[in-house]
Amino acid sequence: MRKTSPRLLLIILFIFSNLSNAETLPTVDIPKKISGSQVIILSKQGDALSQKIARYYAQQRHVPNDQIVSISLPANTNTLSSKQFSSLSEKISPKLTSNIKVVLLTFHSPYRVDCMSITSAFALGFDKKYCGQKISNKKACNPSAISPYYNNQTDLLWKKETPMRLSMMLSAETFQQAKALIDRGISADNTYPKGHAYLVRTHDHARSTRTPTFKRFSEFWPQDHPIQANFIDDRHQKMDTSIKHKKDILFYHTGLKHVPAIETNTYLPGAIADHLTSGAGIGIGHDGQMKAFRWLENGVTASYGAVIESCNFTEKFPNPQILIPSYANGDSLIEAYWKSVQQPGEGLFVGEPLARPWSKTLTTYQGQSLIIRTSELEANNNYLIEERNQLAEQWHETPNDITLKATKSHLTITIPNAQARHYRITKKPFYFGIMERPKS
């Protein structure tokens, strides 16, 4: 008889415990873990849909009201000039404190800044080194500068001297579509899903340049992993696809102008999908090549597309060999997706940024005690735990008799009689249990 692993048992207990507590679990902010408190939302002045999406996202992800900023954008244009973007950046600069790690855009136009995508411009700063096209020859494609966040395993976002933030666009043609997307992202959290990754080689040779990466990844990925990696050779499918009527899709990466039958599939909350082509990031409309937004409308939680002719450099598109392990190891969606693109200057990230199906921190109740089990904190540090009930309230130190238990892999923090709606843990002197406070 096979023994159940402690990790699997923990996850099972966590899931069943949360069935009754899903509506009452508080938020818990942890150092170096992106949460709603580190998001700034930029909505578009005069755009009722953009502002409604911003308000709903802030409410659902607990983004403070003073981090919702309405910005003035030129009407009837898809592209900002570098000068216009510079002016916009200066206006919102006071809001971009060191606490802000994510810039979320709740509009779908403009989507470009000169030759860069608007999400890359907000994350990397506008710089033509991130553009492959040259003014002298716009028909020619070239590599562009490498993102400092590519495959980054350091604390880059959290270094005070590093101003980089990640950016994503969350918009839709209707509020119902945007609401469904946001709700999917939230429902993905801490689900530890089992599902499939489909890495597809198509008949379109020019758009299948990621095929060697797809094959390598499917070969080395553990066969017994909850995510099943499937390399699909679909070259014989000229007008059709093998990926239709599939269930439990977590990742779907392919290369076509138009991907057929995506509406027939079932995508798990938190799923990511994209197709390598030159125009997937060019707006939200239905003309030309299939837009990244079609994935979102059919149940995917995030996608990616080029906003300008990028040619088929694999470095300019998501690499599942980096994306899937990063996501499955507990990164938020936006962190994992950004890590996976080496040259993202011309690419637009769209979706719900904070989805985190595989968390490094599990929160549940045992009676009236809140149990926080995390591998994101170091045992040799002291921590201050604070609480509040409303986002507008000031934080104050949790008065309860908190206890901490440390192992080699994680910390377990127990807060008895936990009744607050929001908790945060910061690296400041704090003494657990029987440890004495220093005398003043």
**Whether residue 248 has pLDDT greater than 60:** yes
Q: Report in angstroms the alpha-carbon separations of 227 from 8, 108, 213, 327, 373.
A: 15, 32, 17, 11, 23
Question: Residue for token digits 């490498």?
Answer: 146
pLDDT of res. 145:
95
pLDDT of res. 46:
94
Q: What is the dihedral of CA 59, 63, 65, 67, to 10 degrees?
A: -140
Cα–Cα distance measured from residue 314 to residue 417, given in angstroms and rounded to the nearest whole number: 52
Question: Cα-flanking dihedrals φ and ψ of residue 356, to 5°?
Answer: -145, 80
**Whether residue 438 has pLDDT greater than 70:** no
Considering only residues 345 and 12, tell me which one the structure prediction assigns the higher pLDDT. 345
| Strand pairing report for 68-71 and 39-44 | parallel
Q: Is the peptide bond before 399 cis (omega within 30 degrees of 0)?
A: no
Cα–Cα distance measured from residue 58 to residue 65, given in angstroms and rounded to the nearest whole number: 7
Band (pLDDT 50/70/90 cuts) for residue 437 is: very low
pLDDT of res. 45:
96
Output the pTM of the full model. Answer: 0.87
pLDDT of res. 136:
59
Mean pLDDT is highest, among 126-140, 147-161, 362-376, 377-391, for 362-376
pLDDT of res. 84:
97
**Whether residue 430 has pLDDT greater than 90:** no
Band (pLDDT 50/70/90 cuts) for residue 119 is: very high
- Four-residue CA torsion sign, 128, 132, 134, 138: negative
Question: Cα-flanking dihedrals φ and ψ of residue 106, to 5°?
Answer: -100, 45
Residues with Cβ < 8 Å from 161, sequence gap 6 or more? none
**Whether residue 392 has pLDDT greater than 90:** no
Question: DSSP state, 137?
Answer: B
Question: Cα-flanking dihedrals φ and ψ of residue 211, to 5°?
Answer: -55, -50
pLDDT of res. 139:
65
Cα–Cα distance measured from residue 91 to residue 70, given in angstroms and rounded to the nearest whole number: 11
pLDDT of res. 43:
98
**Whether residue 151 has pLDDT greater than 60:** yes
**Whether residue 52 has pLDDT greater than 50:** yes
Per the rule left: phi > 0, alpha: psi between -120 and 50, beta: everything else, 313 is: beta
Helix axes 211-220, 320-328, angle to 10 degrees: 40
**Whether residue 277 has pLDDT greater than 60:** yes
- Using only the alpha carbons of the chain, give its radius of gyration: 22
* Percent with pLDDT over 70 in the chain: 90
pLDDT of res. 341:
98
Q: Report in angstroms the alpha-carbon separations of 388 from 30, 193, 345, 365, 372.
A: 15, 31, 39, 18, 17
Question: Residue for token digits 């919102």?
Answer: 92
pLDDT of res. 409:
78
**Whether residue 4 has pLDDT greater than 50:** no
Average pLDDT over residues 231-250: 96
**Whether residue 184 has pLDDT greater than 80:** yes
Average pLDDT over residues 124-147: 84
Which three-class secondary structure string do you get for 194-248?
CEEEEEEEECCHHHCCCHHHHHHHHHHCCCCCCEEEEEEEECCCCCCCCCCCCCC
Of the candidate ranges 112-116, 229-233, 265-269, 423-427, the one whose mean pLDDT is the lowest: 423-427
Question: Cα-flanking dihedrals φ and ψ of residue 120, to 5°?
Answer: -70, -35
Degrees, nearest 5: CA angle 181-113-301 = 15
Cα–Cα distance measured from residue 264 to residue 404, given in angstroms and rounded to the nearest whole number: 48
Average pLDDT over residues 170-179: 98
Q: Report the largest interatomic distance among the alpha carbons of the chain, rounded to a whole angstrom.
A: 77
> Which DSSP string do the residues of 321-382 spell out, in sequence order?
HHHHHHHHTT--HHHHHHHT-SS-TTEEEEE-TT--SS-SEEEEEETTEEEEEESSS-TTS-
Cα–Cα distance measured from residue 302 to residue 336, given in angstroms and rounded to the nearest whole number: 11
Cα–Cα distance measured from residue 364 to residue 72, given in angstroms and rounded to the nearest whole number: 42
Q: Where are the domains of the chain?
A: 6-28+360-426
pLDDT of res. 296:
98
Question: Residue for token digits 């080194």?
Answer: 129
**Whether residue 100 has pLDDT greater than 70:** yes
Average pLDDT over residues 370-393: 86
**Whether residue 215 has pLDDT greater than 80:** yes
pLDDT of res. 256:
97
Question: Residue for token digits 């994510």?
Answer: 102
pLDDT of res. 94:
95
| Strand pairing report for 249-254 and 195-202 | parallel
pLDDT of res. 313:
93
Cα–Cα distance measured from residue 186 to residue 354, given in angstroms and rounded to the nearest whole number: 8
Side-chain-side CA neighbours of 339 within 13 Å: the count stands at 22
Mean pLDDT is highest, among 5-19, 119-133, 155-169, for 119-133
**pLDDT tens-digit readout, 38-48:** 999 999 999 99
**Whether residue 434 has pLDDT greater than 90:** no
Of 252, 281, 284, 259, the residue nearest 344 (C-alpha): 281
**Whether residue 163 has pLDDT greater than 60:** yes
Average pLDDT over residues 336-356: 97
Of the candidate ranges 12-16, 202-206, 406-410, the one whose mean pLDDT is the lowest: 12-16
